[in-house]
Structure 1
């Protein structure tokens, strides 16, 4: 009886981990997109700052 419980528990655990991994993968894809957007915003900010500095130096 105890062994059956252990086996079913392992099955549930591995199923749970598979779901967790799927969720983490989805999150990491979303994070990659966000990081990409964030990097582009950073680049734009740098360009704006450079433009402002150029205008001031003229």
Structure 2
């Protein structure tokens, strides 16, 4: 996968992570999050989604 498609894939993963977090789909956090913790949570979700999408797209080739 070239650099441009990896960048687009990561942007898509970041968008999906933001959507999931903002919609609060059956995820309830009772611990207070600092802005740094919230950013870390978004980044972790984005990386996981990116790795899943990357695996699925590379698997079909």
TM-score norm. by structure 1 comes to: 0.47
From the CA coordinates, give the structure whose radius of gyration is larger: 1
TM-score norm. by structure 2 comes to: 0.45
Q: Which has the higher helix share?
A: 1
Using CA pairs below 8 Å that are at least 6 residues apart, which structure has the higher relative contact order?
Answer: 2
